[in-house]
Amino acid sequence: MKKFFSFLFFLAIISCSKDPILYTLTTSTNPTEGGALLPSSAQFEEGETVVLNATPTEEYVFFSWAGVSGENSTTSIVMNSDKSVVALFVKKQYSLEISVEGDGEVTEKIIKAGSSTDYNSGTIVELSANPVSEWVFVEWKGDLSGSENPTQITINKPKKIIAVFQKKQYPLNIEIEGEGSVEEKVIKPGVPNSYNSGTVVSVKAIPQNGWSFLKWSGDVSSLENPIEITVNMSKNIRAEFFNPLDFTGLPILYVDTQGSEINSKDDYVEGSVSIIGSNDFPDLSSTEMKIKGRGNSTWWQGGIGRPDNMKRPYQIKFGDKTKVLNMPKDKKWVLLAEISDISLIRNKIVREIANMGSFDYVPQSEYTELFINNKHAGTYLIGQKVEESKNRVNIGDDGYLVEIDTDAHGRIEEDDVYFRSNVWSSHYKDGVFNIKEPSLDFDSEKFNLIKGHINSFEDALFGDNFKDPDIGYRSFIDLPSFIDWFLVNEISKNQDAASFSSIYFNYIPGEKIKMGPIWDFDLAFGNVNYSNAENPEGFWIKDNLWYKKMFEDPYFKQMVQERFDYYNNNLSLILSKISGFETYLSKSQKKNFELYPSLLDPNSEVWPVPARFDNHHGYVEYLKTWLDTRMEWLKTWL
């Protein structure tokens, strides 16, 4: 019986046992190459706890789990259902630290990303070193070497990179012309090395004994000494020295105002003058004087030069009468800049022509090199001022020096004393008679005397008996001076002398009116582009109101024709004198136009020059050709 119950118990146990419940665990990694996950995918019995281990590969790190919780690379999961677990890995991330030496920047461009996150391990970055202006890229330092730019770098560990920039370097080449040296001093270095881009260098020209500094040329053009140069490109400069005894062959006139500017036509500036006469003229030791601007159109034209060197006309006044370049002693002297006359010869040659005439006085002048406060100002003509003087217009205490002028364009100054004549000033509405000498008051006895005498002369000239030698115009005027004045101005076709200005005459009571002195011929010999005075054909002065009437007198006309023959017979001499002046100025004109290059630039307008050339010889030939053509025309039609 006992055995029977044991058998029944065994059967009961067997009948109660069932098969185990299994669940599937699916494991994977993302990305696949990011690492391994154990255990691999398998089946586990219900309720079983499975331990999961995520192991990253070399360039990855464990990031997180998907399908199971846990922050570490090892976690566990209870199998109570089918499970899917993903181990997430990410690329290791490295810092790329870039610094700069010098002045520039580095741009970064990802060529190949290790993953969607910039600069993960394996990212390839292109680096471009971009220097700022006047700097250059030199090399990479740190975890990158070489000078290739742009370049690429693979980010596989933390990296520090330095982009090295340095200032551009330029040579400063200094040449010497003449006898002297140049001292260099760095004022502001661009970087620690001298003459890198941005370096400011002070250069001082030091002449040897007997020599003088002239100017800087080359890549720097200046008359200042010393000067500061910013080295921002390769530069070649030349320090030019000269020997005053052998410069251009012209005497040298030094004006020293202790640095004070001469920028007014009204106010004098105190200073001194000295002259080195070279071989042909006596020297003048330093002599006190005062100087101011002068002129009308030539004054504003003087701005054609650089701001540090404008070519303007001046007037010098000595305290005592002083002899200048062999010209007779006097106090006042003028310096003519000859801006409009690029030949530099018109005012000089017309004096030579006038000296062939019968004038009592022709203003003397000589060429000179002008230096103002040691700065070369160019070729000038220094000469006598038109004024009353024993050595100039010698009219004594009782005589008159009068300029027929115009009160337009601000030419008449506040303290000028002038009158209007009955005929001339009626015909030329702006025409006035400006009394230069003596100093007198309006409506004074002397004032009314000269005014009345000119009106009487005009009455005779335009009266019925004007041809009568005893009561007509001839009884009032010095005929030779009137004829010579006419011819000098008609031959040259002087723009202003027709009726505008610089028409001088002088009169001593009890004597006859004399024309002259001649003056202001820079706009003569065809050197004007706004009137018929440009052309060598046609009359000009003959249309002047007074002369037009005189030409109605056959006697006057015949005298003019005979006198013209005299000048025409001397044409070859006049032309040879022009050529001689060109030769004399050969060195001086070159230096002059180096200072004022726009005068020889055909594309640069110079008022009122009608024909433009790129060399001095062209202007001289223009003058000679014009004069030759002019004389041929006058020979036919006068």
- Residue 495 pLDDT > 90, yes or no? yes
Structure confidence by residue, pLDDT tens digits, 200-223: 889 899 999 999 999 998 998 888
Other CB atoms within 10 Å distance of the CB of residue 354: 23
Other CB atoms within 10 Å distance of the CB of residue 585: 22
β-partners of residue 401 are 437, 506
Q: Which of 143-147, 300-304, 492-496 shows the lowest per-residue confidence on average (mean pLDDT)? A: 300-304
Confidence of residue 94 (pLDDT cuts 50, 70, 90): confident
| Confidence at residue 411, expressed as pLDDT on a 0 to 100 scale | 83
Confidence of residue 553 (pLDDT cuts 50, 70, 90): very high
Structure confidence by residue, pLDDT tens digits, 274-315: 999 988 999 999 999 999 999 877 776 655 555 556 799 999
β-partners of residue 180 are 207
- Residue 235 pLDDT > 90, yes or no? no
Query: Helix/strand/coil (H, E, C) string of 47-80?
Result: CEEEEEEEEECCCEEEEEEECCCCCCCEEEEEEC
- Residue 75 pLDDT > 90, yes or no? yes
Which residue do the tokens 């004098």 mark? 268
> Global pTM?
0.76
Burial of 427 (0-12, 13-18, 19+ CB in 10 A): exposed
Confidence of residue 111 (pLDDT cuts 50, 70, 90): low
| Confidence at residue 416, expressed as pLDDT on a 0 to 100 scale | 95
| Confidence at residue 178, expressed as pLDDT on a 0 to 100 scale | 85
Mean pLDDT of the chain: 90
Q: Which of 47-51, 53-57, 131-135, 507-511 shows the lowest per-residue confidence on average (mean pLDDT)? A: 131-135
Positive or negative: CA dihedral 531, 534, 537, 541:
positive
| Confidence at residue 191, expressed as pLDDT on a 0 to 100 scale | 42
Rounded Cα gap, residues 312 and 336, in angstroms: 8
| Confidence at residue 308, expressed as pLDDT on a 0 to 100 scale | 55
Query: Helix/strand/coil (H, E, C) string of 166-185?
Result: EECECCEEEEEECCEEEEEE
Query: Which tokens belong to 58?
Result: 């070399």
Confidence of residue 193 (pLDDT cuts 50, 70, 90): very low
The whole-number average pLDDT for the span 523-527 is 98
Q: Which residues contact 166 (CB under 8 A, 6 or more apart)?
A: 102, 135, 136, 138, 191, 196
| Confidence at residue 18, expressed as pLDDT on a 0 to 100 scale | 64
First-residue to last-residue Cα distance in the chain: 181
Highest mean pLDDT range out of 14-23, 145-154, 225-234, 516-525? 516-525
| Confidence at residue 611, expressed as pLDDT on a 0 to 100 scale | 96
Q: Which residues of 564-579 are buried (b: 16+ CB within 10 A; e: fewer)?
A: beebbeebeebbebbe
Structure confidence by residue, pLDDT tens digits, 438-489: 999 999 999 999 999 999 999 999 999 999 999 999 999 999 999 999 999 9
Structure confidence by residue, pLDDT tens digits, 256-282: 999 999 999 999 999 999 999 988 999
Q: Where are the beta strands (DSSP E) in 159-251?
A: 159-167, 172-177, 180-188, 199-207, 212-218, 227-231, 235-242
Rounded Cα gap, residues 597 and 619, in angstroms: 15
β-partners of residue 254 are 274, 371
Residue pair 518/489 in contact (Cβ under 8 Å)? The answer is yes
| Confidence at residue 189, expressed as pLDDT on a 0 to 100 scale | 56
- Residue 104 pLDDT > 80, yes or no? no
| Confidence at residue 302, expressed as pLDDT on a 0 to 100 scale | 59
The whole-number average pLDDT for the span 372-401 is 96
Quote the radius of gyration of the chain (alpha carbons, Å): 49
Q: Where are the domains positioned within the chain?
A: 20-91, 96-167, 172-242, 252-637
Q: What is the full DSSP assignment across 76-112?
A: EEEESS-EEEEEEEEE-B--EEEEEESSEEEEEEEEE
Helices (H), 364-444: 424-427
Q: For residues 73 and 119, which has the higher predicted lDDT (pLDDT)?
A: 73
- Residue 151 pLDDT > 80, yes or no? yes
Burial of 538 (0-12, 13-18, 19+ CB in 10 A): middle
The whole-number average pLDDT for the span 407-435 is 93
Above pLDDT 70, what percent of the chain?
93
Q: Where are the beta strands (DSSP E) in 338-455?
A: 365-372, 375-384, 400-406, 418-419, 431-437
β-partners of residue 49 are 78
| Confidence at residue 115, expressed as pLDDT on a 0 to 100 scale | 37
| Confidence at residue 166, expressed as pLDDT on a 0 to 100 scale | 85
Query: Helix/strand/coil (H, E, C) string of 37-49?
Result: EECCCEEEECCEE
